[in-house]
Amino acid sequence: MNPWTKLPPDAHPALALGRRLAGAGVAAIDTPALVIDLDAMERNLTRMAEFAQKHKVRWRAHAKLHKSAALARLQMRAGAVGVCVQTTAEAELLAAGGVHNIYISNEVIATPKLERVAALAQTLHEVQGRLALAVDSAEGVQRLAAAMASRPQAGASIDVFVEIDVGQGRCGVAPGAPAVALAQEIDQHPALVFAGLQAYHGGAQHLRTVRERREAIARAVAAVTLTRQQIEATGIPVALVTGAGTGTFALEAASGVYGELQPGSFLFMDADYAQNERDPAQPQFEHALFVKTEVISTSANHVVCDAGHKSHAIDSGMPRVHTLPGGAALTYANGGDEHGILRAAVPGGALPALGQALWLIPGHCDPTVNLHDVMIGVRGGLAQGRVERVISVDARGALS
């Protein structure tokens, strides 16, 4: 069965563009544009679902990648228990798009935002859904409890994960006693359900060698194990440990400690992750997200395309130029907000002609998607494929 068939239509402006482009060849896609190779994306999705099933671990797709309710629903249909997001607005927008199991895997502190979190918990409760939030401070727990208690309708509760810093040095309390204190604090508030530990090691995802990643996640697992033991010694069960990303998830899955994986990038697979030495324990993922661009200026030694860093994020390096069969091998240099400068990968190599379409593999997919209103889904490959559907980036710019 085509997993798309039961999905509701995507919202404007994707709907309008989808109607115009449906069935058109890739040549009809105006540039610069974000394009999904649907076949590659669905293969990535199947590989992830099979991995989770084989290793008997839950997976919760990180929707900060695609910010799309349609793709979140597709992932849940393939077996994901729900999605992670990073902001309150992302949660609201995906919930509005029919995604009813959402974990804000981040701290929310401002009271107006926590009131929105509480309202969303109530909304999801009413549709048999569920909302969860991460915390790393007693004040955050108390503010959340106050927001939940101030709701006019009682009845809803919210799952709360204590975030521990397992090596990234960003958010999270230290493993051990500080996490125990937070679990006890959560346990005192009737509308808060202590759901377990958030233990994501962001810094480990992009360590290049398998050995470095294995060592980093081994330390994370030790920190989680210690913390879980100390919390459970107080009589509070730790129902779930959740974390992991596309760079490391086979390690967390094998740990016996993590019960839920949170990878996002595997779906699209960016140029940066592709530079990691692959762990044979993980499935091989394919690049599925591209920026279609076009040559707008030529000269003897370089050409210029119409995709600059307003079209793709460069925080994790420049995009790679995807070489189609028969195409010239090119390197991409930053040409500013609206331009990329392309040179032959080998001296004297061929350069594309004025007006020629090219395909870029973004260095980092998450912030690249956030630059676009829509993703154009192509079936049948980038060379000969046709537009099947246009997918709305529902939570684009949903920062707060």
Point out which residues bind a second copy (CB under 8 A). Answer: 30-33, 64, 86-87, 106-110, 112-113, 136-137, 139-140, 165, 169-174, 202, 294-299, 302, 304, 306-307, 309-311, 313-315, 334-339, 341, 354-355, 366-367, 370-373, 396-397, 399-400
CB of 170 to a second copy, least distance (A): 5
Q: Which two tokens stand for residue 277?
A: 């030495």
CB contact at 8 A, 228 and 241: yes
Question: At residue 322, what is the residue type?
Answer: H
Distance of alpha carbon 77 from alpha carbon 248, whole angstroms: 24
Nearer to a second copy, 39 or 107 (CB): 107
CB of 150 to a second copy, least distance (A): 18
User: What is the CA 81 to chain-centroid distance, rounded?
Assistant: 15
Nearer to a second copy, 72 or 304 (CB): 304
CB contact at 8 A, 68 and 394: yes
Nearer to a second copy, 349 or 355 (CB): 355
Cis peptide before 32 (omega within 30 of 0): yes
CB of 113 to a second copy, least distance (A): 7
CB of 369 to a second copy, least distance (A): 10
Cα separation of the two ends of the chain: 37
Nearer to a second copy, 51 or 266 (CB): 266
Nearer to a second copy, 31 or 122 (CB): 31
CB contact at 8 A, 217 and 252: yes
Nearer to a second copy, 22 or 110 (CB): 110
Strand pairing report for 33-37 and 58-59: unpaired
Q: SS3 of 37, please?
A: strand
CB of 235 to a second copy, least distance (A): 27
Whether the CA torsion 13, 15, 16, 22 is positive or negative: it is positive
CB of 77 to a second copy, least distance (A): 26
